[in-house]
Structure 1
Amino acid sequence: MDNFERNPPLRGVSEAKTYNSGLWNVLVIGGSRGTGYQIALAYLERAYTVTFLVRDKSTFDSDGTIRAFIAGGQVKVVEGDALVEADVRKAWDGALKHGAGPTRGIDTVAFCLGGSIGYTWATGVTLTPHNIVTRGLQALFCSLPLQSSPNTKLTIVSSSGVFPESFNNLPWALRQATSYGLLPAHRDKRSAERLIAHVAGWTWDDARFGPIPEEEEREMYDGARGWREREGMPAVGALLEQLAVVRPLLLTDGDCMGDKTKDELAGAEPYRVETLNSTNAWSISRKDVAHFIVKATTSRWEQYKGSAVYLAY
């Protein structure tokens, strides 16, 4: 017998939490766990339709919450590889059919891909695949018809500490932990941020963001140094009005403080939203990252589109 009691009940299901009844078709890439999973739940709790792109359809077999949404028709799961353009396009097409249909389009794409952190005596801390975020963003930019879908909003979850200016503002203990445990992931995300800067039309300042050597370009990008000319890659600045980048501090599994505010739509956020992380900023819960992204895409897009922000308490 199906057991939909396996997971804790959804937070806030007894409250009315619909920011915008017109926004209801969401595609999540990298939503099987972690922050992406919380983002998907945050949309689902507000009655929006969500399509997941996952490597294995059995991912949610033991997840009572998602299975209940699948049974109710609110969730569609597309099996595929987020690094393969054809599979990313398949997820887009699946989301079109799942939501309001091609005439409506897809309201928002949440990109939250991440690899598996490991350790070996020979190499130390590793990330598998080593360029998963970079290649995933390349596949997304080159395969989805974002430029012909101007109403689609794209939110990309990156990280704090990726750039020298952000890393230097981290508290001392967090800098040490980042230097040891997150270097491979941050190397990947820095390469991915270079792609974002290209499609957003942001100037890449080597002094602020760090240079990406030719050898690293060959290793990280599909197409090596020719990634700019890769078929389907948007022109410089083409997606500025359609994207927002979120760079959270240390992620935790804590509660969603945003759900506890009296007025989610107009009230002040219980976390800081900054253009550069403060020196006393430490962490934020995955649920509050999700809270911010849902709020930004549904009621604050004019404020956050074309920007990159840091989140922390």
Structure 2
Amino acid sequence: MHVYLLGGSKNIGYFAGLRLLKQGATITYLLRSPNTFDNDEEMQRYIKQGKAQLVRGDGLNLEDVRNGWQKALEAGNGKVDAVLFTIGGTLAFTMKGGLALNHPNLCTQSLLNVLSSIPSSLRAPDSQPHFVVVTSMGCTAASHKAVPLSLKPLYNILLPAPHADKLGAERVLAYVAGLSWQAEDKVKAGILPEGWESTPGLPGPGELKHVVVIWPSLLKDGVCKADEERKPGEQAPYRALKDRHVGDAYRISRKDTAHFIVHEALANWDNWEGSRVTLTY
């Protein structure tokens, strides 16, 4: 398996990438700073083996993303089996507007760039990669209503800016993958460019055939509980809820989210294709 990974320098993308490499996959990483792994002994082993290819590039730069696609095609001998998109912005405090993202539409614009630069050889349904895109529980109106009451203040104070960006990405995915979209989900002005549906190269309505969207509940650091020893037949310690919300979705670790992506979404693709999956303990 060859994977094109965007957002793999840290957090979910990083942990998922390591799991895939350990399974024998090869990965093309698009990184703003390829030296981010210079002191990472575990990652260096895969880089030296040629299993992990680091490409300098920014998701906000269309030509960088296009170049990443080309490098991934070359590394995969003309094939890219999966695309893992985990790009997300970092909150910063501003005197003018409180908590905000340095790039308010980082996730949305980067995803537009990824989708609009898919190589021609990967556009036919049978040739398309499997796309796994991580957004967030709470970015749509329905999922926000399901957020536990005790977490609502946290979501309402810290997450409006990231969720506005994630909702833009969700809108794009709904369009290109033919997923459902609710009229109450209004994308904030400035997140999507005007006339985005006509972006050159963007797949048309429903043309992207192989997509899974991941909705983690409130993310936290910590161990991967799914790696702990379990009795034969015992389920993973997290819940994966296909196309539905629950009112007791509190937390999930980044490592367990990565575990689901690698050991469930990609490993059992037919079970999850075309769905939005809420992940929570």
TM-score when normalising by structure 2: 0.93
Where in structure 2 are the equivalents of 1:232-311 lying within 5 Å?
232-239=201-208, 241-260=209-228, 268-274=235-241, 275-311=243-279
Q: Distance in 2 between the 1:257 and 1:205 partners?
A: 34
Indicate the residue corresponding to 1:53 in structure 2: 30
Which letter maps to 1:53?
Answer: L
| Superposition deviation, residue 262 in structure 1 | 5.0
Where in structure 2 are the equivalents of 1:29-178 lying within 5 Å?
29-99=6-76, 101-102=77-78, 105-145=79-119, 146-148=122-124, 150-178=127-155
Which letter maps to 2:116?
Answer: C
| Superposition deviation, residue 125 in structure 1 | 0.3
Work out the percentage of aligned pairs sharing the same amino acid: 34
Counterpart contact for 1:108–1:297, Cα < 8 Å = no
| Superposition deviation, residue 259 in structure 1 | 2.3
Counterpart contact for 1:119–1:126, Cα < 8 Å = yes
Q: Distance in 2 between the 1:123 and 1:191 partners?
A: 20
| Superposition deviation, residue 202 in structure 1 | 2.3
Counterpart contact for 1:108–1:153, Cα < 8 Å = yes
| Superposition deviation, residue 173 in structure 1 | 2.5
> 1:300/1:84 Cα in 2 relative to 1: closer, same or farther (>3 Å)?
same
Counterpart contact for 1:191–1:212, Cα < 8 Å = yes
Q: Distance in 2 between the 1:211 and 1:152 partners?
A: 29
> 1:191/1:151 Cα in 2 relative to 1: closer, same or farther (>3 Å)?
closer
| Superposition deviation, residue 27 in structure 1 | 1.2
| Superposition deviation, residue 67 in structure 1 | 1.4
| Superposition deviation, residue 93 in structure 1 | 1.6
Q: Distance in 1 between the 2:215 and 2:179 partners?
A: 16
Indicate the residue corresponding to 1:9 in structure 2: none
Which letter maps to 1:135?
Answer: Q
Cα displacement string for residues 219-257 of structure 1 (whole angstroms, at most 9, x for unaligned residues): 112xx2211111101110111x31100000011112112
SS at match of 2:277: strand
Q: Distance in 2 between the 1:307 and 1:263 partners?
A: 29
Where in structure 2 are the equivalents of 1:211-250 lying within 5 Å?
211-212=186-187, 216=189, 219-221=190-192, 224-239=193-208, 241-250=209-218
Q: Distance in 1 between the 2:230 and 2:236 partners?
A: 11
Counterpart contact for 1:242–1:306, Cα < 8 Å = yes
Q: Distance in 1 between the 2:217 and 2:270 partners?
A: 24
Indicate the residue corresponding to 1:204 in structure 2: 181
> 1:126/1:298 Cα in 2 relative to 1: closer, same or farther (>3 Å)?
closer
Q: Which runs of 5+ in 1 are unaligned?
A: 1-23
- 297-306 or 124-133, which moves further after superposition? 297-306
| Superposition deviation, residue 150 in structure 1 | 2.7
Q: Which runs of 5+ in 2 are unaligned?
A: none
TM-score when normalising by structure 1: 0.84
| Superposition deviation, residue 28 in structure 1 | 0.6
